[in-house]
Amino acid sequence: MSGRFAPTPSGRMHLGNAYAMLAAWLSARARGEEMRLRIEDIDVPRVMPGADAWIRDDLAWLGLDWSGDVVYQSRRTALYDEVFATLCDAGLLYPCFCSRAEIRAASAPQEGDRFIVYPGTCRRLHDEHPDEAAARVRAGERHAWRLAAPHAGAREGRILFDDRVYGAQDYDLGSALGDVVLRRSDGLYAYQFVVTLDDLLMGVDDIVRGRDLLRSTALQIWLRQRLLDCGIGGGSDGSGGDVRWTPAQTPDYAHLPLLDNAAGVRLAKRVRSLDLGHLREQGVRPQAVVGYCAWALGLVERPRAMDAPEALACFDWRRARAVCGRDLKVPDDIGARLLAM
Ligand code: GLU
């Protein structure tokens, strides 16, 4: 059983990524578990060549170690193909021919995080005219593949889980997420599919990440169960090693408040001033970054330099829970503050 770092190599890690990585490492280590490193480079257009080497280097610099081989999603396509075919055979997927504009036009406006619930156009086509849908696929019409999730309000689509930071969660899959895409029309596998499968196959039972993925967790819990129902994930940890974990067990989840800049905008990799490359060039020490992130996690009263083992000594999810509800604003002069730490 393990925790995991699951970065997307789309640029240099910034302070917000370091904070999420530290939290994931502390959580797994506090449970006496190992960390795995999985490079989520499946979304090829977003990948920046060389960013995976930065990630490995920055994690090592922060003193956050991992075990085993680094898993690259881009090298697992044959495995994804096989599992995808199994899900297809189980009747869990259907082809979707809608364009983005069509989906947007047919959708009820969503609040908050711009998540658009698919209005079900091609699900109806698939249910009512399966031959027509199959013929359009055979004819080579551009299509994505969607997961046929429980309908809104269906009993089997109610997902309850306890988040270690945000507490009890209660989602109705059909209305909160709907039929998400598992394979895009450009042929690439989608985040929700590969992340759920890889967490299952890698024996990950401790998942720590930003609160923007809280809602996705409901879907991943459901999809994980469907994978298990299809006999996937029961016999191997994906690396040929022994199986010492109970795959049916749902992982423990913790979602973190996000780090914003001083203007209240979420930190982004394209803004260089808070990326680790820039901070390191300025002479900032890893202990300053770890100490600042430990403070952001609620582990200490005031930011002060410390290394990762020292942060581990004060780690407790109850402390992180006490600071949830405040997304943290990183001040503009953070570079200078970290340098002085
Ligand atoms: N690769 C995703 C990201 O960098 C994180 C996925 C996850 O933690 O589930 O945002």
Closest atom of ligand 1 relative to the 10 alpha carbon: 4
Pocket test for ligand 1, best of 36, 195, 197, 256 (most atoms within 8 A of CB): 195
- pLDDT number for residue 292: 97
Report the alpha-carbon distance of residue 13 to residue 10 in Å, rounded: 9
Kindly give the distance from the C-alpha atom of residue 175 to the centroid of ligand 1, in angstroms, as a whole number. Answer: 23
Please report the pLDDT score of residue 109 as a whole number. 56
Decide whether 2-74+257-339 matches 76-253 in CATH topology: yes
Give which of 137, 113, 115, 117 is closest to 125, Cα–Cα: 137
Residue 235 has pLDDT above 60, yes or no: no
Residue whose structure tokens are 């952001």? 296
Predicted local distance difference test score (pLDDT) of residue 108: 63
| 132 CA to centre of ligand 1 in angstroms | 36
Residue 17's pLDDT is what?
A: 95
Q: Residue 14 carries which side chain, given as an amino acid letter?
A: H
CA dihedral for 206, 208, 213, 215, sign (positive or negative): positive
Is the pLDDT at 260 greater than 90? The verdict is: no
Q: How does pLDDT run across 194-219, given as a tens digit for each residue?
A: 999 999 999 999 999 999 999 999 99
At the top level of CATH, the class of 2-74+257-339 is alpha beta
Nearest to 15 by CA among 295, 208, 215, 268: 268
CB 48 within 8 A of CB 11: yes
Q: DSSP letters along 253-286, please?
A: EEEEPPEEETTSPBP-TT-GGGBHHHHHHHT--H
Q: Is the pLDDT of residue 268 over 80?
A: no
Distance separating alpha carbons of residues 246 and 233, to the nearest angstrom: 10
User: Tokens in use for 137?
Assistant: 């696929």
What pairing do the DSSP bridges indicate for beta strands 71-72 and 158-163? unpaired
- Cα-Cα-Cα-Cα dihedral sign, residues 299, 253, 329, 336: positive
Cα 93 from Cα 144, distance rounded (Å): 10
- Ligand 1 contact via 198 beta carbon (within 6 Å): no
User: Average per-residue pLDDT in the chain?
Assistant: 91
What percent of the chain shows pLDDT beyond 70?
Answer: 93
> Could you read off the pLDDT of 46-89 as tens digits, one per residue?
999 999 999 999 999 999 999 999 999 999 999 999 999 999 99
Beta pairing, strands 144-147 & 93-96: antiparallel
The CATH code for residues 76-253 is 3.40.50.620
Residue 114: predicted pLDDT: 64
Please provide residue 48's backbone torsions phi and psi, each rounded to the nearest 5 degrees.
Answer: -105, 120
pLDDT category of residue 242 using cuts at 50, 70 and 90: very low
63 CA → ligand 1 middle, Å: 20
Structural contact between residues 185 and 143, judged by C-beta atoms closer than 8 angstroms:
yes
Amino acid at 142: R
Q: How confident is the model at residue 244 (pLDDT cuts 50, 70, 90)?
A: very low
Q: Map out the domains of the chain as residue ranges.
A: 2-74+257-339, 76-253
- Could you report the per-residue pLDDT of 277-329, keeping only the tens digit for each? 999 999 999 999 999 999 999 999 999 999 999 999 999 999 989 887 777 88
Instruction: Name residue, tokens 């970290």.
Output: 338
pLDDT value at position 129? Answer: 97
